[in-house]
Structure 1
Amino acid sequence: MSDLTLTLIGGPTALIEIGGFRLLTDPTFDQPGEYDLPHVKLVKTAGPAVAPGQIGTVDAVLLSHDQHSDNLDNSGRVFLKSAERVLTTKAGASRLGGHAEGLEPWASASLTKPDGSQLAVTATPARHGPAGIEPLSGDVIGFVLEGMAKRAIYITGDTVWYDGVAEVARRFDVGLVMPFAGSAQTRGPFHLTMDVNDVIETAHAFPDALVVPLHYDGWQHFRQSGDDLRHSFATLGFGERLRLLAPGRPTGIVLD
């Protein structure tokens, strides 16, 4: 068992501290505003709970994808320059350049401390919407962290529930799942991130894992909230498995 602390910054951005390692998911630090993408306009409604200058040094940024502003905004791109490592998709690493490292699904990278402690980071498949969305959404990955706790941590990245997520459950003993939720809708009447049903399916696939969702507020294109998740989990009788983080407040988690 290793000490684990999670701090929600906002949207998909969270600081994960485990066994002396510090990792940041999809960095978004801009204040509210509008972002014009090739196919849609995104509107951010809430700023970060923690400013980038307050984060400190991180061992790696876990960037699920670089092509959407609600996962990597202008301030987030600046933050990448200060990270020891940036792990992302192959296509994203090519676009970002610098010290970004691209991973295909199921490929792994190792983070090592001077004392020899290691944290393995494995890229996992993700599908950012319904089947066939890939030419529009581009490549996305999630991440599994192993090595500093008895059980793994799974960060889904922007994905819906599909067999790629189920395959993660078949391959890894996961004690904590961090689904990107909110039922994002921008292009049509279909969701691009997990809706409540997808999160429930994910919870069943990892039957005794704690569920700590990210990326369900702070943007206009989210159609479901943390309250929707809380109510649904409680109604189905496993509300104790859901943990909603208070923005900006470090929260200790025990992984047995």
Structure 2
Amino acid sequence: MNIQQIRNATLVLNYAGRKLLVDPFLADKGAYPPFPNAARQDQNNPLDSLPVPIPEIIDHLDAVIVTHLHLDHWDDAAKEALPKDIKLFVQNEEDAKEVQKDGFKNVEVLQEDTVFEGIQLTKTKGEHGRGEIVNLMGQVSGVVFKHQDEKTLYVAGDTVWYDGVQEAIDAHKPEVIVVNAGANQFLEGGSIVMDKEDVYEVHQAAPDATIIAVHMESANHWGLSKEELKSFVTEKGFSSQVFVPADGESYTL
């Protein structure tokens, strides 16, 4: 497999001969206002430009996976750029209806036994924060990818560390795990995705897995920098297992 970090949670996966796009956040730098009730109210989103042009991202694309419909995972620029007949996977019927309203005609709800072009796709659970904020943030999901010719990949999505992530690791034994690790947060309620301690929990649960940390420094409500995470994993002694990619960087695993 090849995994390219585009920006935020946006990934281009080349997996078992298919090109898949995850959580497209494709707008020009500064196209949207800052998320409210959070840091950096003077900075519009996205905070950085795309590292590659949209036509290159969507060229020869086989399918799109949208883990949930928050703006920084599914934005107007993506809706405009993607062909309306593209195969598009979502987490539930509610999201499917919303995406169909945007004109997409080939929408499927991920299950625990979805198969696409020989690739097994398993929807996993997530919790978008802890405590009361979980209900405000709404339902989210992750995805496990399996194919006989590839390593098992777990894209955890917008979740903190909790028992549902442990269960997914125990059930699927992923060799590669992508975590959204920007410690994004509002002024109250704590992190709504993984922070550095959560990344350490993932490593302890899957000590032999390669961890790729994304969803960092791309929107105004980020709380953990790439450099801070790199320093932390070095101090904890597992830096050889963790990649913290720059936008546009890719890994063949």
Normalised by the size of structure 2, how large is the TM-score? 0.88
Match of 1:100 among 104, 107, 123: 107
Contact 1:58 1:83 in 2 (8 A): no
Contact 2:16 2:150 in 1 (8 A): no
Contact 2:23 2:65 in 1 (8 A): yes
The AA in structure 1 aligned to 2:108 is E
Match of 2:27 among 14, 22, 30: 30
- What does the per-residue CA deviation read over 1:45-88, in whole Å, with 9 as the maximum and x for residues that have no partner? 1121122211212222121101x211111112224435631111
Quick one: distance in 2 between partners of 1:37 and 1:102? Answer: 28
- What does the per-residue CA deviation read over 1:148-173, in whole Å, with 9 as the maximum and x for residues that have no partner? 44531000110000111011011012
Q: Which residue of 1 aligns with 2:193?
A: 193
Alignment size in residue pairs = 242
Counterparts of 1:1-256 in structure 2, within 5 Å, are: 4-33=1-30, 34-35=32-33, 43-55=45-57, 56-66=59-69, 68-81=70-83, 84-90=86-92, 91-97=94-100, 98-103=105-110, 107-112=112-117, 118-149=118-149, 151-186=151-186, 188-253=188-253
Quick one: distance in 2 between partners of 1:143 and 1:185? Answer: 23
Contact 1:43 1:221 in 2 (8 A): no
Contact 2:127 2:140 in 1 (8 A): yes
Quick one: distance in 2 between partners of 1:213 and 1:82? Answer: 30
- What does the per-residue CA deviation read over 1:201-233, in whole Å, with 9 as the maximum and x for residues that have no partner? 111111210001111122111010111211111
The AA in structure 2 aligned to 1:110 is V
Quick one: distance in 2 between partners of 1:38 and 1:231? Answer: 29
**CA-CA distance at 1:132 after TM superposition:** 3.5
**CA-CA distance at 1:186 after TM superposition:** 2.1
**CA-CA distance at 1:142 after TM superposition:** 0.3
Taking a change above 3 Å as real, the CA distance of residues 248 and 43 of structure 1, as seen in their structure-2 partners, is closer
Gapped regions of structure 1 (runs ≥ 5): 113-117
**CA-CA distance at 1:21 after TM superposition:** 1.1
Quick one: distance in 1 between partners of 2:10 and 2:148? Answer: 21
Q: Which residue of 2 aligns with 1:115?
A: none
Instruction: Look up the SS of the partner of 1:212 in the other structure.
Output: strand
Identity of aligned residues (%): 26
Q: Which runs of 4+ in 1 moved over 6 A?
A: 36-42
Instruction: Look up the SS of the partner of 2:160 in the other structure.
Output: coil
Taking a change above 3 Å as real, the CA distance of residues 163 and 46 of structure 1, as seen in their structure-2 partners, is same
Contact 1:59 1:111 in 2 (8 A): no
Quick one: distance in 2 between partners of 1:83 and 1:125? Answer: 27
Quick one: distance in 2 between partners of 1:46 and 1:204? Answer: 32
Contact 1:18 1:148 in 2 (8 A): no
Quick one: distance in 2 between partners of 1:96 and 1:146? Answer: 26
Query: Please, what is the CA RMSD of the aligned residues?
Result: 2.1
Q: Name the stretch that deviates more: 50-59 or 34-43.
A: 34-43
Quick one: distance in 2 between partners of 1:28 and 1:18? Answer: 21
Q: Name the stretch that deviates more: 145-154 or 166-175.
A: 145-154
Contact 2:29 2:50 in 1 (8 A): no
